[in-house]
Structure 1
Amino acid sequence: MDECLSEFIKRMIVRMPLAEVPATLKMWGFLAEKDLQSLTLWKSKEGLAMEIVNLCESKKATIDHAADLDIVYHHINSKKKLWCVYQMSVLSDSEMNVTDVAKFQAIFKKSVYSVLKNVTINFREFGEALWIRIACGKDCMKPNQYRPTFVVYHTQTPYAFFNGITSAHRSMICQGLLLAAGYRHIQELDLKSRSLESMQDMLFKKFSQPFQSHHPRSLPEKSCTPAIVDKKVSYENIKEKERIQHVMHETFGDGPLPKLEYAAYKLETSFNGEPGIAEKIEPFRCLVKFSGPHLLESFRTLAPSGLAEAPLSSLLTCIPHRGRNIFKITEKKQPSNSQAEN
């Protein structure tokens, strides 16, 4: 095991929280149970890391083993990364939609290696998700193992989730995905989050989607009237509170919502004035951004807390149903005189 590989494994161990090290190594599966039990966890992380490096060296660990450990670490700590999502469409003539994981891996590797030689590609399955780790090198240099790209692909779906993808390698990786999965087109969706699970729930429609209707209906299980009613006390705005409750229930439901950290709205509007002047002036652009640890849950509490009127704007409530949290708002362009005459 060369010095670069030893240093790479050491750095991975050092960056892990000490409490996560045993579980991460066990999931990795490279070290035997007796090796794990021999570790002295009360040591400093530097000392523990060197102990693990020595074990790996005695077992002749390779870069593939180290890359596999890196995949396990990022799988456990996926919420520390910002993820984007790409959607593939239009099956190829053979309508493959490859379900054989081994075949998918072989086609993906062949496609990437045909473009770039100094690259390492590693795979690991977690349930229905196939994690792909790609480390590339510049020019004739070795692959940079410290800046890999991660792709999480769910077979039987057209979605792939990316982290750390660069513009230099985007087309190469996307082309490999298309060939391996049997699709023809791929595009990035306007959805980003640190929660892979929430993005998957939105796109795979796993969360409880309420029926949106702003006509109040009876919900006997929920009532704004206190359980103990004092006849001497008058409760104001009961009907209004019940209306808000109905609206928010039918908009967001009662179940857990997908966890998103932000939503961005890009506004672009043209100058309204003399025709000759309006065409020469650049459109007015601005960005409105909402952020928080759990944005959709915050939206659900806006009206009941009196901070907004119900129903909320569809620009806020449509996020989980449309599977996006980045929007571009533009004006409807009026047809020109020549087009109107035709």
Structure 2
Amino acid sequence: MDESTKRLLQRLIRRIPTQMLRTTLDKWGRLTGGQLHSMDFTQSKWALTEKLLAICEENELAVKHITELEMIYIIDNPNQGMWYAFQLMDPEDDAHSVELTQFKEQFKSHLRELIRHVSVKIKKHTDEAVWIRIAWGDTFSRPNHMKPTYVVHSLQTPYVFVTSLTSKQKPLLSQALVLSTRYQAIKDANLSGRKLTAIRDLLMRQYHQVFPTRYPTPLAENNPAVSNQHIEKEQAESAANRLQAACEAFGGGMLPQLQSAVYKLETKFRDHSNKTMTEREEPFRCVVKFASTNLLESLRHCASSGIASTPVTPLLSSIPLKGKNYFVITDNGPGPSSQMRQPQK
């Protein structure tokens, strides 16, 4: 093993929690039963790393084997960074017939035509999603395995999820994806988050949606001993209506754990007491961000409990309705950004 491969393995082992290390190594399958049994997982992470380095050198493992281990860990634990959603546009007639083997060959071929030094590893997950690991180089340097890009795509859908992609790499990846999937274009879906499953479920509508009804079901009574039956009935109907409106806006049951929503305002400043700002020709610009460990659940609770008014404003209900959490607000009303955001470097 060369020094760069050793550093890659050392960094990877530091990332994997000790309680998950044995299971991950077992899935990897590159260690014999005896070698795996010889590792004492009660030792410090430093001692485990040194032991694993020695075993990997004994087995003459290379960087391609270490990247296999990394992919196993990332696939099982995808919430490692910020994920960005993209949507493939204008499918060709044979787009839905692209199979995995064909996709793998064409994706690698197209990407290597665009960039000389690149390392691509593709693995199909049990949920049918195709996982792609890309280590980028350039004309003169070898692929940097310390900063890989991960791409997740289900072949029968137009959606692609990407993490750790720079603005320089974005057009290369976009072109390779478009050509290998038989689509004609790709666009930013204006949806991002740290939980891959959450943004996937939101974009693909894989959660319990609630549709409008004229006859909402009243909430179960928490306190049956209410003295005035008329007040009880009125309160129950009001609570049921709020809950129905909240569920119609955000969904029912378990909701995708989205962490944030960003609204970029580009509107005229309106305040008759401030002529300087009001008379400006340029729009007033600012950014408003809502954040929570589970934003949709928080918004639904605010609406159902009466903290926020119902019906829910389109500014908030557009999050699940359009499957986006990045909006540009103009004087014409809310809408998705017309500009492509630059992903994090």
TM-score, L = length of structure 2: 0.86
Q: Which aligned pairs between 1:102-117 and structure 2 lie closer than 5 A?
A: 102-117=101-116
Structure 2 counterpart of 1:255: 253
CA separation of 1:212/1:35 partners in 2, compared to 1, >3 Å: closer, same or farther? farther
CA distance in 2, matches of 1:280, 1:243: 43
Structure 1 segments (4+ residues) deviating >6 Å? 277-280
Question: Paired residue for 1:132?
Answer: 132
Aligned to 2:195: 195
Residue-by-residue CA offset, 1:109-129 (whole Å, 9 max, x unaligned)? 111111212211111111211
Given that residues 98 and 182 in structure 1 are in contact (C-alpha distance below 8 angstroms), is that contact kept between their aligned partners in structure 2? no
Residue 226 in structure 1 maps to residue 225 in structure 2: no
CA distance in 2, matches of 1:332, 1:250: 24
Aligned residues of 1:129 and 1:152 also touching (Cα < 8 A): yes
CA distance in 1, matches of 2:279, 2:216: 53
Q: CA-to-partner distance for each residue in 1:89-146, whole Å, 9 max, x for gaps? A: 1123x52445321221111111111121221111111121111111112442221111
- Taking a change above 3 Å as real, the CA distance of residues 239 and 209 of structure 1, as seen in their structure-2 partners, is closer
Q: What is the DSSP-based 3-state SS (H/G/I as helix, E as strand, rest coil) of the residue aligned with 2:289? A: strand
Deviates more, 1:262-271 or 1:128-137: 262-271
How far did 1:302 drift?
0.4
- The residue that corresponds to 2:343 in the other structure is none
Aligned equivalents of 2:294, 2:159: Cα separation in 1:
23
What does residue range 115-264 of structure 1 map to in structure 2 within 5 Å?
Answer: 115-127=114-126, 128-212=128-212, 215=214, 217-219=215-217, 222-223=219-220, 225-226=221-222, 228-229=224-225, 231=227, 235=232, 237-264=235-262
**Equivalent residue in structure 2 for 1:266, among 260, 264, 268:** 264
Please say which structure displays the higher CA radius of gyration: 1
Question: How big is the alpha-carbon RMSD for the aligned residues of Structure 1 and Structure 2?
Answer: 2.5
* CA 148–279 in structure 1, closer or farther in 2 if over 3 Å, else same: farther
- Give the residue type in structure 2 aligned to 1:126: H
Instruction: Give me the whole-angstrom Cα distance separating, in 1, the residues matched to 2:96 and 2:59.
Output: 38
CA–CA distance in 2 between the matches of 1:47 and 1:303? Answer: 52
Shift in CA distance, 200/271, structure 1 to aligned 2, threshold 3 Å? closer
What does residue 336 of structure 1 align with?
Answer: none
CA–CA separation in structure 2 for the residues paired with 1:136 and 1:34 = 36
Rounded to whole Å, the distance in 2 between the matches of 1:74 and 1:268 is: 38
Name the SS of the counterpart of 1:5 in structure 2.
helix
- Quote the offset at 1:20 in angstroms: 1.2
The Cα shift of 1:218 comes to 4.0
What is the distance in 2 between the residues matched to 1:253 and 1:169?
Answer: 36
Q: Distance in 2 between matches of 1:294 and 1:139?
A: 43
CA apart distance, 1:318:
2.5
SS of the residue 2:240 aligns to: helix
Q: Which amino acid aligns with 1:64?
A: K
Q: How many positions carry a matched residue from both structures?
A: 325
Is the alpha carbon distance of 1:253 and 1:260 closer, same or farther for their aligned partners in structure 2, counting shifts above 3 Å? closer
Change over 3 Å in CA distance of 1:158–1:254 after alignment to 2: closer
In 2, Cα distance between the equivalents of 1:332 and 1:254? 30
Cα 1:98–1:113 change in 2 (3 A) is farther
Query: 2:242 and 2:131 mapped to 1: Cα distance?
Result: 43
What residue number does 2:56 align with? Answer: 56
> Is the contact between residue 12 and residue 70 of structure 2 (CA under 8 Å) also seen in structure 1?
yes
Cα offset, 1:306, TM superposition = 3.4
Alpha-carbon contact 1:268-1:286 (below 8 Å) kept: yes
Q: 1:253 to 1:119 in 2, by over 3 A?
A: closer
Question: Which residue of 1 is the match for residue 28 of structure 2?
Answer: 28
Q: What amino acid is aligned across from residue 201 of structure 1 in structure 2?
A: D
| Partners of 1:262 and 1:120 in 2: CA distance | 33
In 2: Cα distance, 1:187 partner to 1:7 partner? 36
Once structures 1 and 2 are overlaid, which stretch shifts more, 50-59 or 230-239? 230-239
1:304-319 map, 5 Å: 304-319=304-319
Q: Tell me the residue number matched to 1:7.
A: 7
1:191 and 1:325 in contact (8 A); partners too: yes
Q: Where does structure 2 lack aligned partners over 5 or more consecutive residues?
A: 334-345
C-alpha contact 2:110 2:176 (8 A) present in aligned 1: yes
Looking at structure 2, the residues matched to 253 and 269 of structure 1 have their Cα atoms a distance apart, in angstroms, of 30
Rounded Cα–Cα distance in structure 1 between residues aligned with 2:279 and 2:180:
46
Displacement after TM superposition at 1:52 (Å)? 1.3
Question: Matches of 1:163 and 1:72 in 2, distance apart?
Answer: 16
| CA 330–125 in structure 1, closer or farther in 2 if over 3 Å, else same | same
Cα offsets for 1:12-63 (capped at 9, x unmatched): 1122211111122122232233332221111111110121122222222121
Cα shift readout 1:216-244 (whole Å, capped 9, x = no counterpart): x1416x32x33532548975834422332
Q: Aligned residues: percent identity?
A: 33
Output the CA distance in 2 between the equivalents of 1:253 and 1:11. Answer: 40
Q: Check the 8 A contact 1:153/1:160 in 2, yes or no.
A: yes
